[in-house]
Chains A and B, each alone.
Chain A
């Protein structure tokens, strides 16, 4: 069955709205559970939507953006699993595999955007320096508007206009470009951390930087909490010592000649 222009537009609008949620990770409506069901509703086949929701959700449930990584795009996977099954008269299971190129395409777009959007940080700095909060608000939201519109565009093209072309394009995309952006995604957090250190790092602190790094590197920890607790302990020792010295100094002054 084919998709009408109206359905294509409607899906693009829905994806646009859900894309905001995908960026916020707030209501989790970008998860296949919701995306597939809504897509099924739009196409008039709720049962297909629910079936696709069940299997797509289970495939993408384990993927998370924890730690700033970007997995294949669950929103696009949910949309295209239903669309491909509907168009090709396939089972939801078969369509799930075919939806992967679309999920990958969107993943690459997100990675590329998140890399390039780093440039907007300079605009935020300028706005803050000029105390121009209007500009600050604007540059927080501008990248998001660009990206969510891209989501809508990809959704419209994939569902209505260029489905086969996109599928072929994704499959023929030079792997080195997408892999390159993956590498960049791993390197760019270093810029943010180095900027933090520029402000925070002092001679008396360097030892703690090394300790924190080594603990995290050597111990196989799931998150930084244990290291942070250790840091609290060390900070507490330092704090107590400093406080006692201050008190002693004060006492000394009192006993002075």
Chain B
């Protein structure tokens, strides 16, 4: 891919992209979670880099805006900056994609720890105690605080963008090795996400011959065997069979309700 000159995105455009990333997570669904909105947030940046209606925009969206992603919002803004910066420099798309996939889970861990598990409980309990004393300053403080946190996404996107431009040279000179390394990172994180996101288990009181718990049989082999097998089955279906995704999703929903009706799950 030809190297494009940098600095296509101005400071103002980066700021606007940061503000746009406040609307991240629009269109959330269980299958791919935040995939669509990640692409949506990148769109103006990609259109600036390649020009409106350029086929490259569609290709970039195909690469970044259709795959499973679930991360904390500020982490997402950071990733967008990183992706745009690398994209602008004409880095290999598969490499960028592997980076994105490999990073979002761990960045989510950091972001959740800061925003969801620290700042939210603290700000919420302070505001609640003020409300308990009938002070309107409680909700006002809460609103002001979180508007600031929302605006801070601009900084996160900027940081990602800057980091991307510094890392570019190193990245482009070792594409083959790096793609392989990023593949390792990405696949291993996906492996780790299976037990954290997919839950497939039988209730404890479901027993075989009235004695052995069905779930305990699976657990005694290795924990989370069923989620792994389920992902494996779906992978096999996608690789070898021509099954529509919608049909598959509906099938899973029907299966779930049926299992629930029969009391098996």
Instruction: Please tell me if the beta carbons of B256 and A68 are within 8 angstroms of each other in the complex.
Output: no
- Chain B residues whose C-beta falls within 8 Å of the C-beta of A214 in the assembled complex: 191, 222
B188 A195 Cβ-Cβ under 8 A: no
Which chain A residue shows the least CB distance to B25?
A24
Tell me whether A133 and B57 are in contact in the complex, defined as CB-CB below 8 angstroms, given that A176-B257, A243-B177 are known contacts.
yes
Cβ of A201: which chain B residues have Cβ within 8 Å of it?
187, 235
With A27-B147, A234-B188 as contacts: A189 and B256 at CB distance below 8 Å = no
Contact across chains for B188 and A66 when beta carbons are under 8 A apart: no
Residue B39 CB within 8 A of the other chain: yes
- Contacts A28-B146, A53-B139, A217-B195 known; A195 to B238 CB distance under 8 Å? yes
Q: How many angstroms between the C-alpha atoms of A39 and B253 in the bound complex?
A: 36
Q: Cα distance A184–B121 when bound, in Å?
A: 29
B166 interfacial contact with A, CB 8 Å: no
Q: Mark A179-223, 1 if CB is under 8 A from B, else 0.
A: 111111111111111111111111011101111111111100011
A143 in contact (CB, < 8 A): yes
Cβ distance A58 to chain B, nearest Cβ, rounded Å: 5
Nearest B residue (CB) for A187: B252
- Interface size in chain A (residues, C-beta < 8 A): 110
Residues of B within 8 A of A53 (CB): 127-128, 131, 138-139
Distance, CA A46 to CA B191, complexed state (A): 50
Which residues on A sit within 8 Å (CB–CB) of B178?
Answer: 239
Tell me the B45-65 residues at the A interface (CB within 8 Å).
47, 53, 55, 57-59, 61-62, 65
Is B31 a contact of A118 with CB atoms below 8 Å? yes
Structural contact, B132 and A51, CB atoms closer than 8 A: yes
Answer whether A58 and B188 are a contact pair too, CB < 8 Å, given A114-B30, A128-B65.
no
Q: A121-B36, A242-B180 are in contact. Are A54 and B234 (CB under 8 A)?
A: no
Report whether A223 and B29 are in contact in the complex, using a CB–CB cutoff of 8 Å. Answer: no
Specify which chain B residues have a CB less than 8 angstroms from the CB of A205 in the assembled complex: 183-184, 187
- Cα of A199 to Cα of B190 in the assembled complex, Å: 12
Contact at A140–B39, with CB atoms within 8 Å? yes
Contact at B198–A242, with CB atoms within 8 Å?
no
Q: How far is the CB of B128 from chain A (nearest CB, A)?
A: 4
Closest chain B CB from A43 CB (angstroms): 15
Using CB atoms, name the residue of chain B closest to A236. Answer: B181
Residues in A neighbouring B222, C-beta threshold 8 A = 214, 217-218
4 new A-B pairs (CB below 8 Å) besides A188-B249, A213-B195? A27-B143, A114-B28, A131-B59, A184-B257
What are some 15 contacts across the A-B interface (CB < 8 A)? A31-B142, A33-B131, A61-B128, A118-B246, A119-B250, A133-B53, A136-B61, A186-B200, A188-B31, A190-B194, A193-B68, A193-B193, A209-B187, A216-B224, A228-B105
- 7 nearest A-B residue pairs (beta carbon): A212-B191, A131-B58, A180-B257, A192-B68, A223-B109, A186-B199, A118-B31
